[in-house]
Amino acid sequence: MDTEEITTKLRDIARGKVLIDADAIEPGMSITDDLGLDSLKAVDFIIQIEDDFGFEFEEEDLLKLETVKDLIELIGSSLT
């Protein structure tokens, strides 16, 4: 799965979970500030990503995430 496919799927997962239009999500956006995810919404978002992509994140990797690009790269590396 390439970066564009991951981004598209991530936008689909984000619909209804983030405070902005999911189609407006860009790699440089902050996961917490720009997407408007509080801690509970962030957990729900991550669980949905794990379910839809079919893997589980390592907790230490999640703590390093700051931007949507970081998340896309982590998903990509988890799928290989």
Distance CA 32, CA 76 (A): 20
Q: Is 38 among the residues known to form the active site?
A: yes
Q: Which of 23, 38, 52, 61 is catalytic?
A: 38
Residue positions annotated with a catalytic role: 38
